[in-house]
Amino acid sequence: MAFENLTDRLNKALKNLTGKGKIKEEDLQASLREIRLALLEADVSYPTVKKFIANIKEKAKGAEILEGLNAPQQVVKIVNDELTALMGEEAAPLNQSEKIPTIIMMAGLQGAGKTTTVAKLAYKLKKEQNARPLMIAADVYRPAAIDQLEILGKDLDVPVFSEGTDVDPREIVKHGLAQAKEKNNDYVFIDTAGRLQIDEDLMTELSDIANIAKPDEILLTVDAMTGQNATETALGFADCLDLTGVVLTKLDGDTRGGAALSIRDVTGKPIKFVGQGEKPTDLDVFYPDRMASRILGMGDMLTFIEKA
């Protein structure tokens, strides 16, 4: 049952359905229920699902069934188009500062993939633009967090600014930015410690860091395997920070990644990058349409529909 393909589900729900013309009301009901379940199974949060289903209902009511498609395929197409639209049509690039350095700050729960993503992004910019990034180690809490960033920096030949664990992260960031100015770095990454959105002290620290650094980009890093809690987490971080975008990590797993939709829905911020593995090269620009069919559990179906 779990992870069943949406098209299969719709086909089952709409077994008796053939012919052309408008989609019938009762058939639509049956398919909407299946879509709802598919989205929930993909971990899209249920308020988002509700809203989404209402949208689809509107769209599908008057829709003519296209030549070459049957009703389930037609519904899938409507859903997919709508999902892609919700997710943001275009890939969103990294914000750029007018003056160097462009400052990019990470935020997120523990273990989401912030440190790894910092290294991946720095590596990408270095490779693609010949950039001279600096990474600031502002996680003084997690054991060996600084070592982790320093090892990554050494492997990738990207400098790391660190002052050990006895200095306040705010100060570390100040000093790191000063060094970046001095050394003419064109990008600065701030690797922050993982924290719960309900941890007031640490959330204050995070907003202080943002006030000090005035980053061009504050990237919320979210594990793609996150369940229904994604909404609450994202809202918590969005409450305290002016998020500019989202990085979705660990998409190399077999998760549907429905959290992506919920987060996009509640924050309105674009997902900019996706992590697809642990290596520095495993970072991709986010493509909304691919994510849409993944959440719905569809592979080739879409290519078929696109051709119709």
Partner 1 sequence: GFSARFNKFLANFRSVDEDFFEELEDTLIGSDLGFDLAISISNQVREAVKLENIKDKKDIRDLIIRLMVEQYEEQGQDEDQSMHFAPKGEPTVILFVGVNGVGKTTTVGKMAQRYKDEGKKVMMVAADTFRAGAVKQLQEWGTRVAVPVVAGAEKADPASVVYEAVEKAKAEAADVLFVDTAGRLQNNVNLMQELAKMNRVIQKVLPEAPQEVLLVLDATTGQNALQQAKLFQDSSEVTGLVLTKMDGTAKGGIVFAIRDQLHLPVKWVGFGEKVSDLRTFSAEDFVYGMFKDLVE
Ligand X SMILES: Nc1nc2c(ncn2[C@@H]2O[C@H](COP(=O)(O)OP(=O)(O)OP(=O)(O)O)[C@@H](O)[C@H]2O)c(=O)[nH]1
Task: Give the binding site for ligand X (CB under 6 A).
Answer: 108, 110-116, 139, 142, 145, 193-194, 196, 221, 249-250, 252, 275-278, 282
Alpha-carbon distances of 292 from 71, 261, 273, 299, rounded to whole Å: 19, 8, 15, 11
* Beta strand 217-223 pairing with 102-108: parallel
Residue 9 binding: pick among Mg ion, partner 1, ligand X, none (C-beta 5-8 Å cut-off by kind): none
CA dihedral (74, 79, 81, 82) positive or negative? positive
Quote the least distance from Cβ 120 to ligand X, whole Å: 8
Of 72 and 169, the one with the shorter C-beta distance to ligand X is: 169
Those residues with Cβ within 8 angstroms of residue 161's Cβ, 6 or more apart along the chain or in another chain: 134, 135, 136, 137, 172, 175, 176, 179, 180
Of 73 and 255, the one with the shorter C-beta distance to partner 1 is: 255
Segment 138 to 177, residues that bind Mg ion, using CB under 5 A: none
Quote the least distance from Cβ 208 to partner 1, whole Å: 20
Quote the least distance from Cβ 226 to ligand X, whole Å: 13
Residue 185 binding: pick among Mg ion, partner 1, ligand X, none (C-beta 5-8 Å cut-off by kind): none
Quote the least distance from Cβ 307 to partner 1, whole Å: 29
Those residues with Cβ within 8 angstroms of residue 252's Cβ, 6 or more apart along the chain or in another chain: 275, 276, 277, 282
Of 101 and 108, the one with the shorter C-beta distance to Mg ion is: 108
Of 116 and 293, the one with the shorter C-beta distance to ligand X is: 116
Quote the least distance from Cβ 114 to partner 1, whole Å: 10
Residue 269: phi, psi to the nearest 5? -95, 145
Q: In the numeric block, which tokens belong to residue 56?
A: 């689809």
Residues 168-172: contacts with CB under 8 Å, at least 24 apart: 168/140, 169/138, 169/139, 169/140, 169/193, 169/205, 169/209, 170/205, 170/208, 170/209, 170/212, 172/136, 172/137, 172/138, 172/140
Residues 139-143: contacts with CB under 8 Å, at least 24 apart: 139/115, 139/169, 139/191, 139/192, 139/193, 139/194, 140/164, 140/165, 140/166, 140/167, 140/168, 140/169, 140/172, 140/193, 141/165, 141/193, 142/110, 142/193, 142/194
Of 147 and 306, the one with the shorter C-beta distance to ligand X is: 147
Site string for Mg ion, 98-117 (x = CB under 5 A): ----------------xx--
Quote the least distance from Cβ 249 to ligand X, whole Å: 4
Q: Which residue is nearest to ligand X (CB)?
A: 194
Residue 276 binding: pick among ligand X, partner 1, Mg ion, none (C-beta 5-8 Å cut-off by kind): ligand X
Quote the least distance from Cβ 293 to partner 1, whole Å: 17
Report helix, strand or coil for 16: coil
Quote the least distance from Cβ 43 to partner 1, whole Å: 4
Of 48 and 276, the one with the shorter C-beta distance to ligand X is: 276
Would you count residue 226 as binding Mg ion (CB under 5 A)? Answer: no
Say how far apart CA 249 and CA 263 lie, in whole Å.
Answer: 13
In the complex, the residues that contact partner 1 under the rule CB under 8 A are 1-3, 37, 40-43, 45-46, 49-50, 109-113, 119, 141-145, 147-152, 155, 196-198, 223, 225-230, 232-233, 236, 250, 252-256, 258-259, 278
Of 109 and 209, the one with the shorter C-beta distance to partner 1 is: 109
Q: What does the binding site for Mg ion look like in residue numbers (CB under 5 A)?
A: 114-115
